[in-house]
Amino acid sequence: MSLYKPISSATRAALGVSGSVLNGAVGNLTKSLNLGDNLGGQLANTALTAASNLGVSEITRRVSNPLMNVANKLDTRLKNIARKGLKTFGLNAFDNVGLADNALQHMGNLSIRQVWENYKLMNVDDLSRKNFFVLEINDRSHSAPTSGGGIHSQFNLLTTQLSFNSVDIQGEAIPIGAVEMDKPSANSRTTLSMNVFDDAHGTIKRWAENKAHMIAASDGTFMPPAYYVFDVRIVFGTNIPDENYYEQIYTMRMQTMPHELSRNDKGLEELQMTFTQTDTFMPHWI
């Protein structure tokens, strides 16, 4: 944007004031001469108006020309400063050559053009976001907090964080002379940790305790897995369950549910629950 525009606007405003002053002087002079509206008064008024216009034109020439020169010099100086400054970042400012091709050290010797081309190749809109996921827990009870489907169940609505390791293959090093050979073991079971809110009635806490009691009853017996296992489905990169998105499904059971309450904070209670996979070969019902 040119600096001349605001300066010339201020100049025109000042000249407008000058013109108003001169026009007022013409009116006062006509009145003092008592010319009235007769022919002589009209001729005199015309002559005085012409004289005032000549005065305004002269003021315009004397005031606007220096201001225009100052504005043009400021424009030129600022353009040179901007051109030198932005060229450091690979941008040729105020030129028509577009993005610069010179290598920039602070960009790992990439030019602005190469950075822009790499950005377009990344296709950022298709990258998976970690805050987009769907959690579906199916225990075949069709009751809260697992009822309502994937996106409407309390587990999906109230879960804030998930953490799990989907691949955990350990290996044993077998020494053979001065070298070692890898002896991989089976893929370990997955453990899922989650942070979830709960309502004032403790719906999720009651569900978790019920599952735990079915695993190890108070009479010292263990219930069959069909009573306490449940399926956990996690869909990545979306808030709507869709088969086109990547997903993982596990058959799990309750493991831990610690509690942490404090009167030093007015925050919501956040449960930290842990599920563990029962068997890596167990089928699922989802």
Mean pLDDT of 2-29: 48
The pLDDT of residue 166 is above 80: yes
Closest C-alpha among 133, 145, 168 to residue 277: 168
The pLDDT of residue 63 is above 50: yes
Per-residue pLDDT, 74: 75
Per-residue pLDDT, 2: 46
Residue 104 CA to residue 114 CA, distance in Å, equals 11
Mean pLDDT of 109-127: 85
The pLDDT of residue 4 is above 50: no
pLDDT tens for each residue of 247-276:
999 999 999 999 999 999 889 999 999 999
Instruction: Return all residues near 22 (Cβ < 8 A) that are at least 6 apart.
Output: 52, 55, 56
Instruction: Tell me the three state secondary structure of residue 153.
Output: coil
Per-residue pLDDT, 11: 47
Instruction: Return all residues near 3 (Cβ < 8 A) that are at least 6 apart.
Output: 71, 74, 75, 78
Helices 39-87 and 4-33 pack at an angle, to 10 degrees, of 170
β-partners of residue 248 are: 234
Instruction: Tell me the three state secondary structure of residue 161.
Output: strand
Per-residue pLDDT, 17: 45
The pLDDT of residue 144 is above 80: yes
Which CATH code of 1.20.140, 1.10.155, 2.60.120, 2.40.30 fits the domain covering 133-277?
Answer: 2.40.30
Instruction: Return all residues near 139 (Cβ < 8 A) that are at least 6 apart.
Output: 146, 211, 229, 230, 231
Average pLDDT of the chain, as a whole number: 78
pLDDT tens for each residue of 181-225:
999 988 899 999 999 999 999 999 999 999 999 998 888 899 999
Instruction: Tell me the three state secondary structure of residue 158.
Output: helix
